[in-house]
Amino acid sequence: MNRERVEEQDAMIKRIDVMIDDHNLISFCINLEYQDKSIQTLSFMMDEYDPEHNRRRSAPWVGPLIRKIMEVLQVTSLKELEGRWCRVKYTSGRVQQIGHMRHDHFVDVWNFVEQYGDRRD
């Protein structure tokens, strides 16, 4: 099995965005700036196509993922995330985990999405 090397780095959350992109999809974005001033965006589609009803619907894991990130970074509002430092674990430039600077608490972003699955509330 070919395993990519996991890198870890401090990053500042520069901006949080919720927006409708050019494909008319709602996205939640965390814009990160590393100490070397390079920038990376962690972006999630907040809705998905529901073929059964032929329409878009909210992705069921988005709210719980945002809540988990807020809990790990110890904030109670999205606005508090801006300017906050965090730890980021990534492979090949893709953010895998985001965590607290001093405590060893991380959210494994893609594993969270995969484990949450397609449950509908």
Per the structure block, which two tokens stand in for 57?
Answer: 């619907």
Domain extent listing, the chain:
7-116
- pTM of the entire predicted model: 0.81
CA 63 to chain centre: 11
Q: How does residue 39 score in pLDDT terms, banded at 50, 70 and 90?
A: confident
CATH for 7-116, options being 3.40.50, 2.40.50, 3.30.310, 3.90.1720: 2.40.50
Q: What is the pLDDT of residues 51-92, one digit of tens each?
A: 898 888 877 888 889 999 999 999 999 999 999 999 999 888
Angle at alpha carbon of residue 60, lines to 30 and 104, rounded to 5°: 50
